[in-house]
Structure 1
Amino acid sequence: MWVEKLKNGKFKYCERYADPYTEKTKKVSVTLEKDTAQAKKQALELLNEKINNLTNTDNVTIKITLYELYEEWFARYKTTVKPWSSIATKKVMKKVFSSIPKETLVKNLDRNIFLNFLDEIYTFGNLSYSYSTQIKNTLNNMLNYAVERKYISKNPVSIIKIRRKKDEEENYKKKMDSKFLEKDEIIKIINFLNQKQTTQLHARIIEFLWLTGLRYGELQALQWRDFDGASIDVNGTLGVYDQTTKSITKTSTKTIASNRVVDLPQRAIDILEETKIYNKALHGHVLSNDYIFLSRRGIPLSISAFNRKLKILQKNCNIDKTLSSHIFRHSHVSLLAELNLPLKSIMERVGHSNANTTLKIYNHVTKKTRAEVIDALNNIK
């Protein structure tokens, strides 16, 4: 170690070390106010700590704060997900930072910090089980990144399990029932919409979603070139309609697994043929690049307009469930589960690689089906 006196009267303590990656000699330094025996001792400790951080590739004592970790991880994470996932993650982390200080050092994080946080928001708090689980999964993802970067040696969140509260467990069956529509409820809605010519497009969309399990954005993005007469090529989702440029941007699907070919039952094929006739009569042409499910304005019916119609339908048809565009996707999973199709084939059809909701609906429906079998056997006379 050597000392250099600076023009401002302070002292720079310097030391050389070998870079572990290039093996070239580099220099580190710290600046202190004095050049005394005590200052030299302090400088030596600081320099050794710096060199240790720079040369130990397995080091897990880097002083990075929780917020710094979040910014570093999020910069990479947002390049791998859709914009709305990034927005959701920002909201999740805002909740985390309202309880765990941003300046908390990552190396000091332990399981108790996160157990206390989850108790605060869920066990003794008012957040739902599903949202609390989403928060936990986000933290787990971020801390796995910290392990990869060797900021910490292990992830303190990975072994934490959130146990559903008793009152939520008791209401679980009812909640699962409300996630999808029964066949008679679907038919009731479709018949109601078909009474008026102005709502027949909505009827076709609902039935097509139910028969295919598409996300609404995937249905919006369908073009006639994606239909080969027997199946549809799901290869994108639709962005927001730009009022200024009068254009719509077709983007990639939600995940890689969402890119798929969906074979169509005859009724779904009939719906497309009916839609082709409707489009030609209304717009004068049906071109390969045209979107399939067009409104009277000549653009795909927006999800907001569709969901507004569903809110009205919920009352008009006396449906005791919250109607949204996504409920028909869940209803498709329910339909396939009732047909005793394997879970893997259902996941492939709806484009899920990690299908928590699909699995829940599948298990729920198959349990109900098994119960109906026993009831039938018990009632044999």
Structure 2
Amino acid sequence: MWITKYTTKNDQVRYKYSERYIDPLTNKNKIVSISMPKNNSQSRKEAMLRLNDKIQKKIKESSTINIDSLTFVAALDEWFVHYKNTAGVKVSTIYNKESSIKTIKSAIGKDILIKKMTTRYLQEIFNEWYKSKKRSNSTMKNLRSVIKKVFLYVQLQYGLEDLRAIQNVELPNRQKSRSEVLAIRNNYLEDNEVKEIIDVLEQMQSEGGYGRYLRNVMVLRYAVEFQTLNGMRIGELIAIQNKDIDYENKKLDINGTYVRASYNNSGDHGYKDTTKTESSYRTIDLTDRSIEILKKLELENRKSIQWDDNFNDNDYIFTNTVGNPLDTMYIGRVLKKAVERTTITKKVTTHTFRHTHISRLAQMNINLRAIQSRVGHSDSNTTLMIYTHVTETMSKEMINKLNLIGY
């Protein structure tokens, strides 16, 4: 979906929402559009539903395809329209599905009839994906899930009788190397390592540069510390707004994640979307230092609102020079440069600071359920994986210390 701003004859600002679809009769791209008075999160969601409804009607009106002539690619396009219209998922999830669909289309020919597809044909595709791209097990499962959903859709809509082609596909299971396992298990930092990164970011800021760079590095420095102290996802952190903070009671309402505009092709920078899962909606207690960081950045933003005409007051806290939340790709690039200037040999991403927070709580012997609730894990196994590793490390350290005791 993309959005075009225009002015009517009466000088009213309107927004044209458009979406492409594949006409099943001609197999060509066509476009449907609707006009709306606003361009905000609610309008975009409503527009997506209305456009998908129009596309479904267009497809139904023009389609003369039956199960004997239905190609897999045509079925995939039709299923995706249905999925967007009925799944009720986040925009970022739709974006990820589009990536999977692109991969699948690159491997399956346009003229392949879904009724004629065999397990052997699909198995060779999955084997090739595994050999050539070294895709992860989770990626392979996601690709198979999309293909399976297409088959199920065709079964319901066109009466496809045999689903064995996809049901019998076996996924190659790539075993993680020892270094990969250790990298996952050791995806957290010690206190001195976090401090080293913060020190380097402060040094990068003191080395000078133009104003935009200085502010962004300053905000990133506080983001690193805040994420380590509170364990939220980076998308949740940059989505924090002043209205989410209860300074008096030292609490933070985590109620969304920030989605970049590239996910929806709109003209704005992005918007605040729903959290990853229902469990991700949570209210957490904040440390005194966390409150200090939020007040520091809030003060910087108020100064920018007062003195900089280009600064947009969107109520966000971790902002760049124009008032938009820091871009996650930018954060990754600068963080990588900072880590390269430290003695740290581990791979460090923003998620490392989230794991670091969980590890700290485990070392404090905090209850597993309490940790799960604080960091918004819907699956306790995710928390347990980090929790167990840390407690195992603590046990080894205990034995090492006991071995030093002698009488």
Which TM-score band (shorter chain)?
0.5 to 0.7
Q: Does 1:212 align with 2:230?
A: yes
| Alignment partners' CA distance in 1, 2:154 and 2:388 | 35
| Alignment partners' CA distance in 2, 1:245 and 1:315 | 35
Taking a change above 3 Å as real, the CA distance of residues 104 and 83 of structure 1, as seen in their structure-2 partners, is same
Output aligned runs, 1:228-247, within 5 Å: 228-229=246-247, 230-240=250-260
Taking a change above 3 Å as real, the CA distance of residues 70 and 270 of structure 1, as seen in their structure-2 partners, is same
Question: Which of the pair has the greater relative contact order for Cα pairs under 8 Å at 6+ separation?
Answer: 2
Letter in 2 for 1:88: N
SS in structure 2 opposite 1:249?
Answer: strand
Q: CA deviation at 1:363?
A: 4.8
Q: Does 1:128 align with 2:147?
A: no
SS in structure 2 opposite 1:261?
Answer: strand
| Alignment partners' CA distance in 1, 2:329 and 2:243 | 26
Q: CA deviation at 1:157?
A: 5.2
Q: Does 1:169 align with 2:206?
A: no
| Residue of structure 2 in register with 1:275 after alignment | 297
SS in structure 1 opposite 2:237?
Answer: helix
Taking a change above 3 Å as real, the CA distance of residues 112 and 207 of structure 1, as seen in their structure-2 partners, is same
C-alpha contact (below 8 Å) 1:220/1:301 kept by paired residues: yes
C-alpha contact (below 8 Å) 2:183/2:347 kept by paired residues: no
C-alpha contact (below 8 Å) 1:78/1:86 kept by paired residues: yes
Q: CA deviation at 1:313?
A: 0.3
Instruction: Give 1:315's match in structure 2, choosing from 340, 363, 388.
Output: 340
Taking a change above 3 Å as real, the CA distance of residues 362 and 68 of structure 1, as seen in their structure-2 partners, is farther
Instruction: Give 1:90's match in structure 2, choosing from 95, 98, 101.
Output: 98
| Residue of structure 2 in register with 1:10 after alignment | none
C-alpha contact (below 8 Å) 1:224/1:289 kept by paired residues: no
Structure of higher CA gyration radius: 1
| Alignment partners' CA distance in 1, 2:95 and 2:108 | 20
Letter in 2 for 1:261: T
| Alignment partners' CA distance in 2, 1:323 and 1:101 | 40
Unaligned runs of 5+ in 2: 1-65, 207-213, 308-312
Taking a change above 3 Å as real, the CA distance of residues 215 and 141 of structure 1, as seen in their structure-2 partners, is farther
SS in structure 2 opposite 1:353?
Answer: coil
| Alignment partners' CA distance in 2, 1:226 and 1:141 | 38
Output aligned runs, 1:14-93, within 5 Å: 62-63=67-68, 64-79=70-85, 80-93=88-101
| Residue of structure 1 in register with 2:352 after alignment | 327
TM-score by length of structure 1 reads: 0.66
SS in structure 2 opposite 1:78?
Answer: helix
**Could you say what the CA RMSD is over the residues aligned between the two structures, in angstroms?**
3.9
For 1:153-206, what per-residue CA distance to the aligned partner results, in whole angstroms no more than 9, with x for missing partners? 65765676646445x332332331464333322121123334546443222111
| Alignment partners' CA distance in 2, 1:266 and 1:212 | 12
C-alpha contact (below 8 Å) 1:221/1:291 kept by paired residues: yes
For 1:86-132, what per-residue CA distance to the aligned partner results, in whole angstroms no more than 9, with x for missing partners? 3332332333344444544445555544443332222x444232433
C-alpha contact (below 8 Å) 1:314/1:321 kept by paired residues: no
Taking a change above 3 Å as real, the CA distance of residues 139 and 290 of structure 1, as seen in their structure-2 partners, is same
Query: Structure 1 vs Structure 2: percent identity of aligned residues?
Result: 31
Instruction: Give 1:250's match in structure 2, choosing from 266, 272, 281.
Output: 272
SS in structure 1 opposite 2:358?
Answer: helix
Aligned length: 317
C-alpha contact (below 8 Å) 1:216/1:325 kept by paired residues: yes
| Alignment partners' CA distance in 2, 1:289 and 1:118 | 45
Taking a change above 3 Å as real, the CA distance of residues 202 and 95 of structure 1, as seen in their structure-2 partners, is closer
Unaligned runs of 5+ in 1: 1-60
| Alignment partners' CA distance in 1, 2:318 and 2:188 | 23
| Alignment partners' CA distance in 1, 2:190 and 2:232 | 17
Letter in 2 for 1:266: D
